[in-house]
Structure 1
């Protein structure tokens, strides 16, 4: 009976409430008490309101994207060819070309949709969670499960998961995504402002905005599409996907191909007409030239290759939020990394302590004195660590290490009592590099402070021996320890000062603590791979210079030269440029988030492609500024993850190196299948040129439908398979790709290899097979091969030989395109099973078109004699073998050139 009653009560809940009404009335409308909702009530409301998410609608976008595919420059070429076909009276050919346009557009649209879904699905790797009070206790739930009436907790760095009203505390909110204002605004529990717009209401926060400072408790009053963000999303369906730099570059090449094709068609149309070709034949020639120039499916194949790269990176622990970032990753020159948690395990442990009276001692040493006891008590007091439901400590790893270390020193803290006696909290400030609390210890207000030794030293009383403190801190830092100073003070009055600077002064030093965070075991190997690949690695950390340098050297950063900037904040622009221009790797110690931004700007000005890591709220500008902003998925804030291009789900530096390698592999594979596609343009174009230049004396060696069968039937699967080619040997020993002119995916060397080498070789073989069949039948130039003539069947066999010859050359080109420098033996003949399957398919497809009668009548093919089949079977070996020889000679030249350069260097 109770569930039914509850369901009746639930049905009376309003879909929307007025969040500005008095708080008591709002709580009554939402039926939320101080203990929050019950789990069952939250489940019932979730059934009514649905998930707390904004779903994009795609109505109308499908038509726009389809139209974009239909007016692509390569599609425009085919439209022109179709128009010429209808003018020439070859209606069947015109219909076939239109069908090809629609099929190609549909295929491209499908691949783009799949790629977009792949990127959207990567959100599963970054589950957004919120802290909520249900059944009277704090729980962590997925943000999509929030419902109106939930009580949630907000903290610094959190993204606001729904539209909420603050009921306790105060926070600063970044509203830039809604209002465009760059400065955060304060939101606090209190009365509503009279006549204030909703977005200016001082006690409201909105879904999608970010909390940059403070803590608060808030009540959810709107979720999903009823939020401000949901309303904006409903009005923002006109957005369109931006093409990546790679796609834009290929599109420019497509326009160039279109211009060349139209120009060639016009010129040779005049030549053919002047040579005596009938108008119908001249138009057939122009159609063939246009169709032969079109590399169908090029853009969707590129999109698919990028999407495959994104999925591969996700499996390796790197979530890439934009397809175009995969391309950028492959050209990275410099990685600027944090130390803690990225190079190290982020598993801090207290190893040693130092006190002014007792000096340095290990944590394991028994019977700590009173001085160590006071130190342990203060360092545990100055934390915000809590215990989870499983009893484990949760919070900042450094603070967890301090609490655990206090327990090892026989001062196991009672965290609940710690929070009850706390009167003030001044959170860690990256500029001040310290944190402090005011607590009632033994009925006396007591200040406990922890921070960097050099930050606390100026705030100590005159009794402290600054030189001894510095010497002890330096000695601990040289051992690779993170050193913190801990101090205390008893204010003269019971009233807590309102200003932070009045609290953190005249301190008494209790001692130093040395925390050890061991490097991740895989980082040293990753750094070596960076150096082999020509990448430099800089460390940008808020830690002490000696500590950071010790960790850097331990993992191989700075080999052979390391520069350590002890105070990165004080470095001038000129000195910064000099450091980054030098071959040495740099440790930027005591760096603030602003330092990261300066480093990113300086490297960009020097033409470097920069990957920058970050995890804090203030890291967002630097992550935006870097070419690849890398956020931490485990320890990072929502703000950092939102600003980043890539998120590491394991916070591991080695994953960045894997991402760079995958980016290089994807870029190489895109070049491989572009080479493969472009190489077949020459043997498809030359037959039409031979026909036109001979004035029809030599019959047309290839039909337009046969070209379409090649471009769409036999070429597609091998091209897609080349997009999944394994990494070529030496991939991570090459220097980074240059930025700027001459560094594009389509280069002069590629076009020479595709057109002048592989293309001409394939053309010679194909035309040789064509003339071999005709001459064997007794054909002489000018002899009729029209339907009804004695040579017509032999002519069909000859055009079939041309068609099959191009397919066989495709097989050789596909194997040759698998490597740019290395031998195919190094790569492995069977290392890409998808390519082998694609080759089997294209051979089977070709056999069907040649030997199955219904297809013979459509495509103008005829069965091939076995001697012609034997001749064609040599084509793959000849094409691949010639390119293998070319690559061997190239490697030999490079070896000789390298030996001469080394000899010249030795003489100097």
Structure 2
């Protein structure tokens, strides 16, 4: 019985909490400014349980189970088996046909359940986190560990994990569309409200689980968790969306129907041929036709697809790529364009300040990463903030205009960790290298208001009370952002401690320095301040401060120059994409020269003069002009979210399958629009992860390339399965055709029950083994498939029926006539009953089984030799081969099976014949593959 949990405090009235001041709220929820103690957390966890939403009641397992027995093919087989069981004298045939359905359905259910469990396990590897204050310290915890009374810290991009009362807010805006359907962000504040005549979602000082932070930051006290939240109360509605079928699933449905129709038509042809050409009784003709129908239905297709996708997902998870649903895997394989951002994906995301630049000096900063160890030098001489007031003023301004925190190593995390934006974190680190006390700075210079970073204006501002050596003001705004935009907003400049009017020469010097650094692939931020004490007619309330009001007439201080070097493995991954005919387009919010420098260094662009399109230029060109530009090497820089969305849309209009990487709130539209949205698991915001189809747990571009390779392998594996199944269909059909065309002069070389034995037992496991094949060498040197490409191609049909199938048919019929000849039978006098006939049909059955052993080895690779990948490397296929040989022995030597399947024991000569059957099948195909490889090599050399 499920344990009942207590409701959180004041569950019945959020309005009551909205009426309380901060101190009263702390008292009501038994918490404080320093958050909860560890004992309080344990007590509340025991009392209220985990902060989780109970999933919607899942579909009955019985219904899921029964669905595997009611597909079009299954219904056809149920019907055919019933006719054979009740209306003919061969009830064993009906039982065998039903067994085909039962085994196929059980296996399908098993694989779906296994895949479902695998994806659920992967989802657990993607926990949501929350930042809280506990015992006076900031911590990052799992969102499910939140309890009522926790002091919660939120900022732009966070997903809110519990209902909470805001106690301190800075320009906070929340998207409540998941709860209310209202798409516009709602402004929130920390002011006490009466709540009269207002709905819960109208309360401006309450935030709710399931919503996301669009702008700003806040501190709030958790009031409700889990099913007691407003989101929990309407969880059934939010969880009611069904999953849409992927293109592969729709194509499989179409393929299944087509094959079923073809199988029925073949059965009808064989039925009438048996009656009117061979003059068989209607009942026998029906059984004969039914065998053909069963032979041409690929019973293991759907289980193989599920298994192939599930195994690919598991392999991708080991390579740091977590796929949220199975159907996304095959889309990855068709990817033709990857729109990648730069920071963290192509680079190491270890942002480090390497230069600080002012109009009078350039400071060199030593030390990499987030460790505060390092030195700052000017002209080779070491300096600190105490020795250089201009440096101290610049670094103080940059670090105060920051929301990030760097956490030192501990027992669980051996490396420095960042809470927030890495770009902001490195500003704190360089301040520490200069000897500045961050905690003292924050305490002495309290922040009054924040104007958060916005991707359209490309800057962020904070407002403080402070006293500085170079300024008498008590209220100052600090702004950091893109150098070009910042320089245009500054009317003064600080040069060696002196403030004067900025000139055009100064601005040119600033941009010259910026370009110099950007050309080296370095990121540059400009820092400026404004003395608000000297500004007349400022509003009294901080909430009325706006970017337009504050971010003007500023004093330029300097540039902060930072490096985020490319990841070591990215260059090889990029080259792999080029080899695979996959384009990579960098779409970044960074400066154009920086983006091009990185793109050249890692090989994304290979021409001398790639086109750089900035957000400003992008806003002024037409869709047709942009489509033309997308045909050449191009880098997009300084782009806004809606512009990234536009680039993705136009690429799709051009027929591309587009993958997009992103980590921020501003990336969400493009991630949703893309065929495959790829979010960063480490630095990605909750909004980005929710919008994406795949999450990289290592934030590494190389993981995307490995995932594409797996996606291509999945599609190829399904085609390998079809090739294998259809070539055995040919071997099964030719003996029946020989019987019909000879007007029964050639007694049926393969009985209907023996056909069922192949489909029911011997073919199934090896075919499934093809679904777990690893990517073949060279798979990433071919162009991606197009959206128009079909699973069942003309090439597969030709190879299945007129290459593998023809070889298998020749061997099978050869085995039949060989046995007849060994027993003294001659053409025109072939027995249709008795031991000789049984031995001959047993040999036909055995020859098909053993040629299929060779065929499954051949199907494992398209061009490579099976001996280069290891003929015994695939364990599932090995088990399948052993199983089909054991089953053949049972059918041949156990009297009960001999009577049912019309088989007989074989002698030593016959066994030697069968054991040699795979040899020519493999040898001939190896010759063909070697010739194919040689021709491909010649074509590459002539290009």
TM-score, normalised to structure 2, is 0.88
CA distance in structure 1 between the aligned counterparts of 2:134 and 2:432, rounded to whole angstroms:
32
Q: What is the Cα deviation at residue 850 of structure 1?
A: 2.0
Q: Any idea what SS the aligned residue of 1:800 has?
A: helix
- 1:559 matched to which residue of 2? 606
CA contact (8 A) 1:277 1:695 kept: no
**CA distance 1:795–1:123, shift in 2 (3 Å):** same
Deviations 1:60-101 (A, max 9, x none): 443443343223222133123213303224223223322321
Q: What is the Cα deviation at residue 52 of structure 1?
A: 2.4
Does residue 805 (structure 1) correspond to residue 853 (structure 2)? The answer is no
Q: Any idea what SS the aligned residue of 1:736 has?
A: coil
Q: What is the Cα deviation at residue 219 of structure 1?
A: 3.7
**CA distance 1:44–1:297, shift in 2 (3 Å):** farther
CA distance in structure 2 between the aligned counterparts of 1:754 and 1:485, rounded to whole angstroms:
65
**CA distance 1:486–1:199, shift in 2 (3 Å):** closer
- 1:117 matched to which residue of 2? 117
Query: Aligned match of 2:265 in 263, 266, 270?
Result: 263
Does residue 17 (structure 1) correspond to residue 9 (structure 2)? The answer is no
CA distance in structure 1 between the aligned counterparts of 2:440 and 2:570, rounded to whole angstroms:
35
Q: What is the Cα deviation at residue 37 of structure 1?
A: 4.2
CA distance in structure 1 between the aligned counterparts of 2:448 and 2:8, rounded to whole angstroms:
39
Q: Any idea what SS the aligned residue of 1:400 has?
A: helix
Does residue 760 (structure 1) correspond to residue 806 (structure 2)? The answer is yes
Q: What is the Cα deviation at residue 873 of structure 1?
A: 1.7
- 2:105 matched to which residue of 1? 105
Q: What is the Cα deviation at residue 534 of structure 1?
A: 1.2
Q: What is the Cα deviation at residue 122 of structure 1?
A: 0.8
- 1:358 matched to which residue of 2? 361
**CA distance 1:460–1:133, shift in 2 (3 Å):** closer
Does residue 630 (structure 1) correspond to residue 678 (structure 2)? The answer is yes
CA distance in structure 2 between the aligned counterparts of 1:354 and 1:633, rounded to whole angstroms:
34
**CA distance 1:62–1:562, shift in 2 (3 Å):** farther
Query: Aligned match of 1:384 in 374, 394, 403?
Result: 403
CA distance in structure 2 between the aligned counterparts of 1:676 and 1:172, rounded to whole angstroms:
58
Q: Any idea what SS the aligned residue of 1:450 has?
A: strand
CA contact (8 A) 2:215 2:452 kept: no
Does residue 525 (structure 1) correspond to residue 566 (structure 2)? The answer is no
CA contact (8 A) 1:125 1:649 kept: no
TM-score, normalised to structure 1, is 0.92
- 1:146 matched to which residue of 2? 146
Equivalent residues in 2 for 1:661-672 (5 A)?
661-672=709-720
Q: Any idea what SS the aligned residue of 1:283 has?
A: helix
Equivalent residues in 2 for 1:237-256 (5 A)?
240-256=242-258
Query: Aligned match of 1:579 in 613, 616, 629?
Result: 629
Superposed CA RMSD in Å reads 2.8
State which drifts further: 256-265 or 227-236: 227-236
CA contact (8 A) 1:77 1:290 kept: no
Name structure 1 gaps, 5 residues minimum: 1-9, 903-908
Does residue 428 (structure 1) correspond to residue 453 (structure 2)? The answer is yes
CA distance in structure 1 between the aligned counterparts of 2:729 and 2:459, rounded to whole angstroms:
66
Q: What is the Cα deviation at residue 360 of structure 1?
A: 6.3
Query: Aligned match of 1:459 in 489, 496, 500?
Result: 489
- 2:181 matched to which residue of 1? 180
CA distance in structure 1 between the aligned counterparts of 2:290 and 2:57, rounded to whole angstroms:
37
Does residue 890 (structure 1) correspond to residue 932 (structure 2)? The answer is yes
Query: Aligned match of 1:293 in 296, 313, 316?
Result: 296
CA distance in structure 1 between the aligned counterparts of 2:29 and 2:592, rounded to whole angstroms:
53
Equivalent residues in 2 for 1:715-734 (5 A)?
715-734=763-782
State which drifts further: 29-38 or 721-730: 29-38
CA distance in structure 2 between the aligned counterparts of 1:639 and 1:41, rounded to whole angstroms:
31
Q: What is the Cα deviation at residue 549 of structure 1?
A: 1.4
Q: What is the Cα deviation at residue 213 of structure 1?
A: 1.6
- 1:441 matched to which residue of 2? 466
Equivalent residues in 2 for 1:294-693 (5 A)?
294-358=297-361, 363-365=376-378, 366-367=382-383, 369-386=388-405, 388=407, 394-414=419-439, 417-418=442-443, 421-442=446-467, 444-461=474-491, 463-464=501-502, 465-491=506-532, 492=534, 498-565=545-612, 567-571=614-618, 572-573=621-622, 574-582=624-632, 584=633, 586-693=634-741
CA contact (8 A) 1:354 1:511 kept: yes
Q: What is the Cα deviation at residue 57 of structure 1?
A: 5.3
CA distance in structure 1 between the aligned counterparts of 2:389 and 2:43, rounded to whole angstroms:
56
CA distance in structure 2 between the aligned counterparts of 1:204 and 1:361, rounded to whole angstroms:
47
CA distance in structure 2 between the aligned counterparts of 1:178 and 1:13, rounded to whole angstroms:
20
State which drifts further: 725-734 or 849-858: 849-858
Provide the aligned length of Structure 1 versus Structure 2.
885
CA contact (8 A) 2:162 2:226 kept: yes
Q: What is the Cα deviation at residue 16 of structure 1?
A: 4.5
CA contact (8 A) 1:132 1:139 kept: yes
Deviations 1:537-592 (A, max 9, x none): 1111111111121111111221135524252332213432222112x2x2211122
Q: Any idea what SS the aligned residue of 1:273 has?
A: helix
Deviations 1:264-306 (A, max 9, x none): 2222212211231022211220221121111112111111101
CA distance in structure 2 between the aligned counterparts of 1:388 and 1:760, rounded to whole angstroms:
68
CA distance in structure 2 between the aligned counterparts of 1:360 and 1:235, rounded to whole angstroms:
57
**CA distance 1:115–1:361, shift in 2 (3 Å):** closer
State which drifts further: 444-453 or 625-634: 444-453
- 1:852 matched to which residue of 2? 894
**CA distance 1:232–1:701, shift in 2 (3 Å):** farther
Q: What is the Cα deviation at residue 312 of structure 1?
A: 0.8
- 1:868 matched to which residue of 2? 910
Does residue 52 (structure 1) correspond to residue 51 (structure 2)? The answer is yes
CA contact (8 A) 2:9 2:148 kept: no
Q: Any idea what SS the aligned residue of 1:537 has?
A: strand
**CA distance 1:773–1:121, shift in 2 (3 Å):** same
CA distance in structure 2 between the aligned counterparts of 1:863 and 1:526, rounded to whole angstroms:
57
Q: What is the Cα deviation at residue 369 of structure 1?
A: 3.9
Deviations 1:736-778 (A, max 9, x none): 22232xx122211011111221112211211221222234334
CA distance in structure 2 between the aligned counterparts of 1:15 and 1:293, rounded to whole angstroms:
66
Q: Any idea what SS the aligned residue of 1:212 has?
A: strand
CA contact (8 A) 2:56 2:235 kept: no
- 1:163 matched to which residue of 2? 163
Q: What is the Cα deviation at residue 478 of structure 1?
A: 1.7
CA distance in structure 2 between the aligned counterparts of 1:863 and 1:117, rounded to whole angstroms:
45
CA contact (8 A) 2:14 2:200 kept: no
State which drifts further: 654-663 or 878-887: 878-887
Q: Any idea what SS the aligned residue of 2:630 has?
A: helix
CA distance in structure 2 between the aligned counterparts of 1:836 and 1:757, rounded to whole angstroms:
24
CA distance in structure 2 between the aligned counterparts of 1:331 and 1:608, rounded to whole angstroms:
9
Q: Any idea what SS the aligned residue of 1:461 has?
A: strand
Deviations 1:222-248 (A, max 9, x none): 433344444444467876554332232
Q: What is the Cα deviation at residue 415 of structure 1?
A: 5.6
Q: What is the Cα deviation at residue 523 of structure 1?
A: 1.1
CA contact (8 A) 1:58 1:237 kept: no
CA contact (8 A) 2:35 2:151 kept: yes
CA distance in structure 1 between the aligned counterparts of 2:806 and 2:823, rounded to whole angstroms:
26
State which drifts further: 116-125 or 807-816: 116-125
CA distance in structure 2 between the aligned counterparts of 1:710 and 1:39, rounded to whole angstroms:
64
Q: Any idea what SS the aligned residue of 2:339 has?
A: strand
Q: Any idea what SS the aligned residue of 2:287 has?
A: helix
**CA distance 1:93–1:833, shift in 2 (3 Å):** closer
